[in-house]
Chains A and B, each alone.
Chain A
Amino acid sequence: MKEFLNKKGLIITLSIFLLIVFIFGGMYSRYMTNQIEVHEEERYFASLLELVEDGESLEAFDAEGADVTYQVPGSEDDYTPELLESFIVLDDSEDEIAVIYVIETIGISSGFQAAYAISLDNDRLLGVNVLSHKETVSQENRYYNKLSDSFFNQFNNKDLDVIDFSIDTVAGATLSSLAMDIGMKYARELYATDYDFEIINVILEIDSLIYNYDLNTINDYQFIAEITFDEDDKTALVHLDNDFNYVETASGDEVTQAVIDSLPVFIPEANLINTDVAIQSYDDTTRVLTISVSGYSSTGITMDLLISSSLDSVENITYVSSDESYDDTQGYSGSGVPEVEENYIDTFNNDGSIIDSTAGATVTSNAMDTALEWVQTFDAALNGGN
């Protein structure tokens, strides 16, 4: 051996060593790189399986797709989300228990990819897993980072067989919220196509909506709506509460349960009148009507309206409470809450006019503006519009 190496064998051996390292070492390096993709795929599948409690394995399948469009958040344009992948989830008995759709939607930018898992047993959305996105994350507790567990929990065990199939968006992360809301809805459409699931479809049109200004019935219902429904174009006049829940049918055709369930969803979307003012209660002994209006805070400003003894006008308004706050960084220089509210009310009580918006308290001003305009309309309704 040593004799061989001392002749030409040494250079041959060393060269062969280099060659072997180059070939087999190269294969080893390539294997390492390939393993990264393998591990990424394993983690990806594992993250999908986590959505389904008893899921053991995934089986890819070709979804039929759904031809529906949604509005691009923050834009007038429409688009169809992109179905990237679809999987059937099998349990340890190889039974199909769920389906997962990986869907790309648009938030503040395109490329919002999330997986939506739907149970085959009970037609419920089991959960969602955001896989990748290009939403704004540079600021802590802002934009996408505002989406907390309570937001994501909305997707857990959500029934598909409801009219109001949507989630509450998060203020400050509205576009990102809508990306997931649309993805969820598109997943339901895909599921309906693939598994003959029938999405509740209600034909309902809101023809008009007004407040109920009748003091005799104002505690019973707060809105009156004219509706047209069903394929036969049936019509009805219905009474509704502050949340647009059905109270009773005043006249017209008998409304179906599906229409009743749909009213709280359809009426806000119809956007016929400003409904920021809520009628809280009317005491016919004291002749005080309590109303509230949402402003900077959703709980807003509450005030009492004293109705005249002849019940034909509003005598004055009394401030009750406010959950507002003014922004001194925007130029508000007065004293704190409820200065703005009381200024509005005092002026209105004095001469019936509505003052201009207060700098630094614009949202509160707008709320008071809305409330006082409502009072003017209500006052006109009490005395027959004279």
Chain B
Amino acid sequence: MARFAGGKAPFLRISDQKGKSTNTIMRDFMIAMLPVILFSWYKNGISVYLDGNINFFEMLYPLFLVIMGGLLSVVMEGIFFYVTDKKNRKLDDILRKLSTSYAAIPGVILALLLPLYTPIWVLMFAAFIATIVGKMLFGGFGHNIFNPALLGYAVVGFTLSGFITDAGGVFNGTEVLIDSYGGATPLGIFANFRNTGEAFSFAALVEPYGNLWDFFIGTIPGALGETSALAILIGGVWLVARKIIKWYTPVIYVGTIFVLSWIIGAIAGDAGLWFPTYSILSGGIMFAAVFMITEPVSTPTNALGKVFFALFLGVLTVLFRFVGNLPEGVGTSLILMNIFAIPIDTYTGIIRTKVFRKPGLSYASVLIGVLLIIVAYTIIASVNMYTAFLPIINIWQVI
């Protein structure tokens, strides 16, 4: 007999995991993030310590930052529960609420999105924005519009990034010694090329950091948790295996970015696969694909909705990367798409139920039409970066 769930997402298929509560999602998410956390600690702490470039206490800082991110979110949420619910202020009440609200996850994700030398007070502020503003003020878990961690990250990025840079920034004790980095992350170099209009080259974008294998493993400079595609993929496989996330959401998102980057590169005269591979392995695309765009509350719930959500997100990420002011593009596009999660969910719900009828076709046309327009604009807007486009533009003008 068919069973239906009401209320807000997430809807856990208890029948698949008997005897487990929503704690299961939280636990599995934390397990999935373990490879990422451990790799970021190894890369930014342990290996640098083993190289003799930092001392023991400095070695602990990356791990401390991640643990603090989770703890701060839990504590802030606990205080919020205490302050807003006068009838349930006992320790057991607070703990019960915390156990069903994924309290630690936004803080942990937040810490993994931030650079190594993020001051603790900045992390506290970010955790406050993520947990209190992004989540609890909207009604708590299941009611937030934006991804809480992303909101905290975005607010800090726009307001306090200077403090992070002044405190030391993104490079660990070994990376600052590597001349070829020249004080820039891969996306930093990407932005320089984009802004100057020079054609991209493998030698300029990839070789300073080794090769694409280094990008995949994660031995390149970047925020704590975003550099290792391998560690993220291990976490992603775990989440898929545990049926916490749908496999196609990250695949479609990453695939869209890969294909669009490939097209842009091909039009520019460089059809090498290195460029789309570089595109998906630099910045926070892989991390977002597994841990953020699969967030159950602020993204569509039905399968078609997830497909469209990932497609739009991929196109917008490329658009913002190639055309926008900031080289990352992931956070901006995800925040924007969080706003449209509910309409997409609604429209795709109608499409699924009335696929061959007029309303279904209309909504499908609208979604596909908007998507194609953005795709076309993204490719055309990228023209500024590529001198190879100029002959095409000239012909166009003549016509």
Contacts and interface: CB of A to CB of B under 8 A. Distances in A.
Interface of A: 2, 5-6, 10-11, 14-15, 17-18, 21-22, 25-26, 28-33, 35-36, 39, 43
A14 B117 contact: no
B380 interface: no
Interface residue tally on B, bucketed by range:
20 to 34
11 contacts: A2-B91, A11-B79, A11-B82, A14-B79, A21-B71, A25-B68, A32-B58, A32-B117, A33-B167, A35-B55, A39-B54
Contacts of B34: none
A21 B168 contact: no
A258 B119 CA distance: 64
A211 to B, nearest CB: 50
A21 B72 contact: yes
Contacts of A25: 64, 68, 120-121, 123-124
Residue of B71, B91, B117 most packed against chain A (CB within 10 A): B91
A167 B91 CA distance: 78
Q: What are the nearest 4 A-B pairs in CB distance?
A: A25-B120, A29-B119, A5-B91, A6-B90
Contacts of A39: 53-54, 173
B4 interface: no
Nearest to B79: A14
Interface string B49-70: 0000111011001001000100
A145 B57 CA distance: 39
Interface string B175-203: 01100000000000000000000000000
A5 B76 CA distance: 16
B61 A32 contact: yes
B91 A14 contact: no
Interface in B30-86: 53-55, 57-58, 61, 64, 68, 71-72, 75-76, 78-79, 82-83
B94 interface: yes
A22 B168 contact: no
A81 B90 CA distance: 72
A32 B94 CA distance: 34
B117 A21 contact: no
A18 to B, nearest CB: 6
Nearest to B169: A36
Contacts of B64: 25, 28
Nearest to A15: B79
B243 interface: no
A43 B78 contact: no
Contacts of B71: 17, 21
Contacts of A28: 57, 61, 64, 120
Contacts of A5: 91
Nearest to A5: B91
Residue of A32, A39, A43 most packed against chain B (CB within 10 A): A32
Given A28-B64, A29-B167, A35-B55, A22 B120 contact: yes
A261 to B, nearest CB: 41
Nearest to A27: B120
Interface string B261-288: 0000000000000000000000000000
Given A31-B57, A43-B177, A10 B82 contact: yes
Contacts of B124: 18, 21-22, 25
A127 B66 CA distance: 46
A31 B117 CA distance: 11
B168 A36 contact: yes
B97 interface: no
Given A28-B64, A35-B54, A35-B55, A18 B75 contact: yes
B68 A33 contact: no
Given A33-B167, A39-B173, A17 B91 contact: no
Contact of A14 (B55, B78, B173): B78
A26 B58 contact: no
Contacts of B242: none
B89 A29 contact: no
B53 A33 contact: no
A21 B73 CA distance: 12
B58 A10 contact: no
Contacts of A10: 78, 82, 89-91, 94
A14 B82 contact: yes
A36 B115 CA distance: 15
Nearest to B121: A26
A17 B76 CA distance: 10
A14 B79 CA distance: 7
Residue of A6, A22, A25 most packed against chain B (CB within 10 A): A25
A29 B120 contact: yes
B116 to A, nearest CB: 8
A46 B156 CA distance: 37
Contact of B121 (A2, A6, A29, A32): A29
A25 B58 CA distance: 13
A266 B64 CA distance: 67
Contacts of A43: 177
A188 to B, nearest CB: 30
B23 to A, nearest CB: 21
B121 A22 contact: yes
Contacts of B57: 28, 31
Contacts of B79: 11, 14-15, 18
B353 to A, nearest CB: 47
B169 to A, nearest CB: 9
B84 to A, nearest CB: 12
Contacts of B53: 39
A32 B176 CA distance: 14
Given A18-B79, A22-B120, A39-B53, 14 more contacts: A6-B89, A6-B90, A6-B91, A10-B82, A10-B89, A18-B124, A21-B68, A21-B120, A22-B121, A26-B119, A29-B119, A29-B120, A29-B121, A35-B54
Contacts of B118: 29
Given A10-B94, A15-B79, A17-B75, A35 B121 contact: no
Nearest to B93: A6
A93 to B, nearest CB: 26
Contacts of A29: 117-121, 167
Contacts of A33: 117, 119, 166-168
Nearest to B76: A18
A29 B167 CA distance: 8
A90 to B, nearest CB: 23
A2 B76 CA distance: 20
A227 B123 CA distance: 77
Contacts of B90: 6, 10
Contact of B75 (A2, A14, A30, A35): A14
Interface in B189-242: none
A62 B383 CA distance: 58
Contact of A32 (B76, B91, B167): B167
Nearest to A33: B167
A14 B77 CA distance: 10
A5 B89 CA distance: 9
